[in-house]
Structure 1
């Protein structure tokens, strides 16, 4: 159970955007195992989202799969309104993301850059905005933003625009944590390195990057999920404004 507010205990109900695959799906599975009810936000693959929701239910927790465009404020509001049918939301994992164009910035398509910024930064802002409103009204809670080690590495030759958006996510985490601390809301961030998911344009990228990582390998989604679960838990009750790097030493 999650301890929030002035010693009150509530059933954890967490919204996970981009929950149908990769890191998001692993986060949903871990949170279900740790006692959370889940709202699985997804963009277009309903079958994948429903599969994740079924795994959550199989773990004995409640789950909804809800379509959302996180870069659209009305769609975000609809997501949280649907989540509220299960009870008061206690947490948000801001995870929906896209790499956008891959390659040199000078060669990148402007529309692709714009969409990547909308999803990777504007979407986080809009979801955090609504989550803070709901959590403040119901006694507090916790947000975890999924950033990237790219925020400090820059990702030259791959996706500088993505790295720039993730640097914005880090700053969002620090600023918002200070802004809402007195409302009983904690805001933290997990910054993964190279992880074995379907995110990569080149499916072999994690294997190729492995030798250059101090721990000698790319990470697994479950290793990110563990960090997210801790930040949402009472064990992290004195942690806010943190950017936790889970990147194998990079």
Structure 2
């Protein structure tokens, strides 16, 4: 058996797709959520219906104590071998950087940057062979927003994802001899509820003409990239940031 995988922000969208894909690959999946208990429970029920193993655990990744509790719950359930850091927010407000309230910027950085760092720190403590762990894989979810910077919409969010890329590259080199591979997947425009929540339900469709493949990604296509990077087929890959963007 592959062991236990933690998927943060797994109550919907890409996180839910990754949780389902991991379960189909034989992982026991810890479905993390911050606020959406109903969504997380639905993901767990879907996995159970397919004969998989899943457990919903509430934790705010921006809070170190919550992160520790999340990992403790996973460890009590079985041997941890994979951590997928998907939890992220945009703050939902659309506009120029000058218009973004300070509290929104702070919260986005707390979740997207500090939260991912806290998750990576704890993952290394649990997985590293230097700490008596079994080794494993860390996958961080970035974004191709780092390329253009998302002007006029979410510059602050794009900046937070730029930090994710740097974190991935640096940590990968740091723990490469400790049995841990660290990679990132950078989705482009993806058909999730993120855009509707921000008041732009047609945003993916409007961006389609700018994408060489002519369409946005489905969450399952992003999940497939995550699962490949976690697999033995990618055993010599670490420090990579893999775009899943239709060529954009």
* Fold shared per TM-score above 0.5: yes
Q: Please tell me the root mean square deviation across aligned C-alpha atoms, in Å.
A: 0.9
1:151 aligns with 2:114: no
CA distance in 2, matches of 1:85, 1:108: 41
1:82 aligns with 2:73: yes
CA distance in 1, matches of 2:42, 2:57: 12
Q: Deviations over 1:144-202 (max 9, x none)?
A: 00000001210011111111110000000000000001110000000000000011111
Residue aligned with 2:224, SS: helix
CA distance in 2, matches of 1:94, 1:109: 26
Question: What are the residue-to-residue correspondences of 1:118-133 with 2, within 5 Å?
Answer: 118-133=110-125
The normalised TM-score by structure 2 is: 0.95
Which residue is 2:52 aligned to? 61
- Please say if residues 173 and 189 of structure 1, whose CA atoms lie closer than 8 Å, have aligned partners that are also in contact: yes
CA distance in 2, matches of 1:219, 1:35: 24
- Please say if residues 5 and 80 of structure 2, whose CA atoms lie closer than 8 Å, have aligned partners that are also in contact: yes
Which residue is 1:107 aligned to? 99
Count of aligned pairs between the two proteins: 241
CA distance in 1, matches of 2:4, 2:60: 20
Residue of 179, 184, 187 corresponding to 2:179: 184
Q: Deviations over 1:75-131 (max 9, x none)?
A: 000001011111121010000011123210111100001101111111100001101
- Structure 1 stretches (4+) deviating beyond 6 angstroms? none
CA distance in 1, matches of 2:100, 2:46: 38
CA distance in 1, matches of 2:49, 2:240: 33
Where does structure 2 lack aligned partners over 5 or more consecutive residues?
none
CA distance in 1, matches of 2:17, 2:167: 24
1:167 aligns with 2:162: yes
Question: What are the residue-to-residue correspondences of 1:207-218 with 2, within 5 Å?
Answer: 207-218=205-216
CA distance in 2, matches of 1:134, 1:211: 44
Where does structure 1 lack aligned partners over 5 or more consecutive residues?
2-10
Which residue is 1:233 aligned to? 231
CA distance in 2, matches of 1:23, 1:213: 19
Which residue is 1:4 aligned to? none
Residue aligned with 1:157, SS: coil
CA distance in 1, matches of 2:89, 2:97: 16
1:44 aligns with 2:35: yes
CA distance in 1, matches of 2:112, 2:80: 22
Q: Deviations over 1:39-91 (max 9, x none)?
A: 00001111110111122222222211000100000000000101111112101
- Please say if residues 88 and 138 of structure 1, whose CA atoms lie closer than 8 Å, have aligned partners that are also in contact: no
Residue of 183, 203, 206 corresponding to 2:204: 206
